[in-house]
Chain A
């Protein structure tokens, strides 16, 4: 199994723990990720609202490179990249003006994009391509007793519910259950993390973050699992501020890939776990007998 791989800026910066865990997990499952050559910004951030066509060009360049790279699906772990690349795909198909602008720009760079590269999230690929059975076989250290609140954030399933339900996604739930974790019912799983507001209207943004943390704690979770670097950062970085405003709601937030890595018995230090502000408690030493 082979995918083209678009890491995006987060996975090389703030969210490097995501990549640090994703790559060994995929390797462990025999999935080959080939990083795109000369990839650029996905076009997210403020670009979209400044100039939609130009943002589409940025994203489309990545898609075009992926198309040139070979007939593999393009995997991108960052939720924002995932959304923007998908959105661009849609826009190119649905809006001839955008398509024209994109093709013109790509043409100048001697690139083409026919719209045929599927953009995939690792959650989708792991559950629907690799399969839970295969993953289960690789588990040497089931996350027994670890209560996890699965948290998807807004961008993976909205507006394009490509591989899961927009309101009640369950892919990560199933995946975490497969690696032995106890999945806590978490109805807030697609609620806003506060992400785009923490910088601008902190009062509103942090409140949203607080609700998520508080509710995860209230529901007995030991850890929140996420699939988005921005979510992870928001849920992890503002504990002192939140605590000052509303009271403590301390719970670690990790990437689902980090939990998978632990279950696969990969060394925790190689999974980027040390990068957390709120560290996850080490799992009880309980080597599997399998």
Chain B
């Protein structure tokens, strides 16, 4: 590979990309090329329609050969998008790929400015800076980091389950960590799923069992991640396994302990039934729970809380000896190469919109509550009833509760239209109630979704277009007495209506998990302003994050329905597998290095390294930098008081020349 400057002479090739109209529409590309051509050392300066296209790349390679270029600068889009493309092109031309510098004149220039003259001037100075800087570039080699083949999947909802199974089926070892006592997530609470109306349990339960039975999957429920360190291919993760006071290996799921608990009746709100039923301190989250073992709620169990209980559960368990009050919280450390975060969402708290009366009027329920009511294993055994036990004669469904709302959440939760129509159909199926859906827009863009909307219309479900103003219990007419009154501007009819109903169902939207910020920090991810985990690229890298080896799937990335969550989970698993099967990743050679002869051994740099890559060599009395541990932040470089630490790709003189270059105003 030609890495030498012929006779030390720098020969730069400069290319400015039109990106069709994207850049050329705002930047005078030929003028920039002419300007750069005059800078000493620039041998070739061209503008071209699409530099990233094959002919564009070929142009660079040809010039390297014909003009003996030893530096290449391309002004086009963001380096985060195409730096690799052009480095590869430079390498294919026979140069070390790091004799290349990219100038961002699209995202940072043509797309954000409106004055052609100004945008062109900016492009010139940015290009000038790159030309100044690239002179200092040196040949660098990428290092290879091996990838640990195991994967951690965080979150045991449908996304996490699917990702774990996909990886497990491919022969990869997976740790699936779930915070709750059972996997299954929100999907396990659903009765049926749209648009096919197949039963959620029927399609989910087999997958949950498969997880438990899978030889490649280690399932840790009732566990949380507390620490993550390392980097792509080499993560060390500490998992906190909370005591469930029941030995998972020994419990056979007979549930006799629950029956024999000194609490004769359930007393505490059952999480799975969203508080619509009561459970005991010892309980199983739901009949199909995986793992199918009981759990003891430490905040409710008399024995755990006070140590004073007859422990009837122990007696019931007898020689199975599964109940173990001595269990302690345990920290387990595992090593994995990739992490898939599928931590899901939380539902909007309907109390935040007091005018809808949730928490005030008993017959205002949320969609998930209705989901449990309609479910045959739910608290009413599938009967949709009002709080007083009567079946409702009329049901109103309010959409966009906590979605598409400037006062609460601005985003569309994407599933509520379909979810509500599904519930509307189920209500029609289970009762003879009239159902009215209050909507702003019906969004049914998935496969078979519009047809589902049609079906809802045909089944006599009424649709009123308008955001509901309020739900009240005061009557203005005899037919309103004893009912909940929905006040809404019917925007199709063009007037304000009062519609009395027996039951109101609020389609609460999705929100990021309450601890999303903590989780994000744990895995070094970014969040959008709304709090959803940020994908690396909205279109081209939808399950990757800015941290290599950390992928996201399901609703933690943004609201989505089951098919989309599953698709993302599969994609995340595939991304992880791509890394695992390659066996290594190439690391950007932007590491810091110490020039030993220059180092005075002042130790200023040592505590600054977040990766403890710098240590003190007692024999040499100088700092020692382990480049394998260095991630290239450059903090030590900036701090070295004698300028003895340098950074590949970000050398002081490169940056100083860049400063000079960007200030070369024209």
Direct contact of A and B (CB under 8 A): yes
Residues of A within 8 A of B (CB): 165, 167-168, 185, 187-188, 211, 214-215, 218
Complex Cα gap A251–B360 (Å) = 24
**Contacting residues of chain B (211-263) with chain A, CB-CB under 8 angstroms:** none
Instruction: Scan B99-133; emit 1 where CB is below 8 A from any A CB, else 0.
Output: 00000000000000000000000000000000000
**Contacts A165-B354, A167-B354, A168-B354; A215 near B360 (Cβ below 8 A):** no
Min distance, Cβ B51 to any Cβ of chain A, angstroms:
48
> Which residues on the B side are within 8 Å of A185 (C-beta)?
360
A211 pairs with B354, CB closer than 8 A: no
Q: Give Cα A60–Cα B353 distance, bound, in whole angstroms.
A: 35
Which of chain B's residues has its CB closest to A169's CB? B354
B477 to chain A, nearest CB (A): 12
The answer on a CB contact under 8 Å between B474 and A167 is no
Q: A215 to B475, alpha carbons, bound, how many Å?
A: 9
Q: Is the CB of B474 within 8 A of A188?
A: yes
Q: Tell me which of A165, A187, A218 contacts B360 (CB under 8 A).
A: A187
Taking the complex as formed, is B141 at the interface, i.e. its CB lies under 8 A from any CB of chain A? no
Chain B contacts for A188, CB-based, 8 A = 472, 474
User: Is the beta-carbon distance between B354 and A214 smaller than 8 angstroms?
Assistant: no
CB-contact partner of B474 in A165, A168, A215, under 8 A = A215
As a 0/1 sequence over residues 154 to 190 of chain B, the CB contacts with chain A under 8 angstroms (1 = contact) are 0000000000000000000000000000000000000
Bound together, the chains give a CA A69 to CA B365 distance in angstroms of 53
B474 and A214: CB pair below 8 A? Answer: yes
Q: Would you list 17 pairs from A and B whose C-beta atoms are within 8 A, ordered by A residue?
A: A165-B354, A167-B353, A167-B354, A167-B355, A168-B354, A185-B360, A187-B357, A187-B360, A187-B472, A187-B473, A188-B472, A188-B474, A211-B474, A211-B476, A214-B474, A215-B474, A218-B474
CB distance from A55 to the nearest CB of B (A): 28
Which chain A residues lie closer than 8 Å to B353 at the CB level? Answer: 167
Q: How far is the CB of A42 from chain B (nearest CB, A)?
A: 29
14 other A-B residue contacts (CB within 8 Å) besides A167-B355, A168-B354, A187-B473: A165-B354, A167-B353, A167-B354, A185-B360, A187-B357, A187-B360, A187-B472, A188-B472, A188-B474, A211-B474, A211-B476, A214-B474, A215-B474, A218-B474
Q: Would you call the interface of chain B mostly helix, strand, loop, or mixed?
A: loop
B-chain residues with CB within 8 Å of residue A211 when the two chains form the complex = 474, 476
Chain B's interface size range is under 10
Q: Which residues of A contact B472 (CB under 8 A)?
A: 187-188
In the bound complex, how far is the Cα of B476 from the Cα of A218, in angstroms? Answer: 13
- Chain B residues with CB under 8 A of A218: 474
Chain B residues with CB under 8 Å of A167's CB are: 353-355
Closest to B355 in A: A167
CB distance from A156 to the nearest CB of B (A): 16
Interface string of B464-495 (1 = CB under 8 A from A): 00000000111010000000000000000000
Taking the closest CB of chain A, its distance from the CB of B143, in whole angstroms, is 56
* B228 CB, min distance to chain A CBs, angstroms: 39
Shortest C-beta distance, A129 to chain B (Å), equals 25
Nearest CB in chain B to that of A165: its residue = B354
Q: How far is the CA of A65 from the CA of B472 in the complex (A)?
A: 44
A155 CB → nearest B CB, Å:
18
Compute how far the CA of A24 lies from the CA of B572 in the bound complex, rounded to whole angstroms: 69
* A142→B538 CA distance, assembly (Å): 62
Note all chain B residues with C-beta closer than 8 A to A165: 354
Best-surrounded residue of A165, A168, A187, A215 (most CB of chain B within 10 A): A187
Q: A residues within 8 A CB of B360?
A: 185, 187
**Distance between B363 CB and nearest chain A CB, rounded to angstroms:** 14
**Chain B proximity of A171: nearest CB distance (Å):** 14
Once bound together, how far apart are the Cα atoms of A217 and B2, in whole Å? Answer: 93
A269–B599 CA distance with the chains assembled, in angstroms: 89
Q: Distance (Å) between the CB of B472 and the closest chain A CB?
A: 6
Which 4 A-B residue pairings sit nearest by Cβ, starting from the closest? A168-B354, A167-B354, A215-B474, A167-B355
Please encode chain B, from 606 to 624, with 1 for each CB lying within 8 Å of some chain A CB and 0 for all others. Answer: 0000000000000000000
Cα of A215 to Cα of B474 in the assembled complex, Å: 7
Q: List chain A residues, Cβ under 8 A from B476.
A: 211
Which interface residue of B353, B354, B355, B472 has the most chain A CB atoms within 10 A?
A: B354
Closest to B356 in A: A167
Residues of B within 8 A of A168 (CB): 354
CB distance from B480 to the nearest CB of A (A): 12
Residues of chain B contacted by A214 (CB below 8 angstroms) = 474
In the assembled complex, the CB of B473 is this many whole angstroms from the nearest CB of chain A, namely: 7
- Which residues of chain B from 340 to 377 have a CB within 8 Å of any chain A CB? 353-355, 357, 360
In angstroms, Cα B475 to Cα A218, docked, is 10
Q: Tell me, in angstroms, the Cα distance from A178 to B662 when the chains sit together.
A: 67
List chain A residues, Cβ under 8 A from B355.
167
Scoring B residues 433 to 476 as 1 if CB is less than 8 Å from chain A, else 0, what string do you get? 00000000000000000000000000000000000000011101
> Which residue on chain B has the smallest CB distance to residue A168?
B354
Which residues does chain A contribute within 8 Å of B357, judged by CB atoms?
187
Q: Which of A168, A188, A215 has the most CB of B within 10 A?
A: A168
Q: Kindly state the separation between the CA atoms of A211 and B357 in the bound complex, as whole angstroms.
A: 18
Query: A99 to nearest B CB, angstroms?
Result: 27
Give the Cβ gap from B341 to chain A, nearest Cβ, in Å.
35
In the bound assembly, the distance between CA atoms of A214 and B473 in angstroms comes to 12
Q: How far is the CA of A215 from the CA of B476 in the complex (A)?
A: 10
**A185–B360 alpha-carbon span in the complex (Å):** 9
Complex Cα spacing A211 to B480, Å = 14
Select the residue from B353, B360, B473, B474 with max chain A CB neighbours within 10 A: B474
- Interface digits, B562-593 against A, CB 8 Å rule (1 contact, 0 not)? 00000000000000000000000000000000
Contacts of B473 in A (CB 8 A): 187
The distance in angstroms between the C-alpha atoms of A211 and B353, with both chains bound, is: 22
In Å, the complex CA distance between A218 and B472 comes to: 14
Question: In chain B, residues 68-90, which have Cβ atoms closer than 8 Å to a Cβ of chain A?
Answer: none
Q: How far is the CA of A268 from the CA of B472 in the complex (A)?
A: 36
Report the nearest A residue to B472, measured CB to CB.
Answer: A187
Distance in angstroms from B616 CB to nearest chain A CB is 55
Bound CA span A188–B476, Å: 14
Give the complex CA separation of A125 and B476 in angstroms.
37
Beta-carbon nearest neighbor of A185 in chain B:
B360
Q: How far is the CA of A187 from the CA of B472 in the complex (A)?
A: 8
Assembly CA distance A111 to B227 (angstroms): 61
Question: How far does the Cβ of B131 sit from chain A's closest Cβ, in whole Å?
Answer: 46
CB distance from A214 to the nearest CB of B (A): 7
Inter-chain CA distance A190–B202, complex, in Å, is 48
Complex: A187 Cα to B353 Cα, angstroms: 12
Closest to B361 in A: A187
Q: With the chains together, A188 CA to B357 CA distance in Å?
A: 11
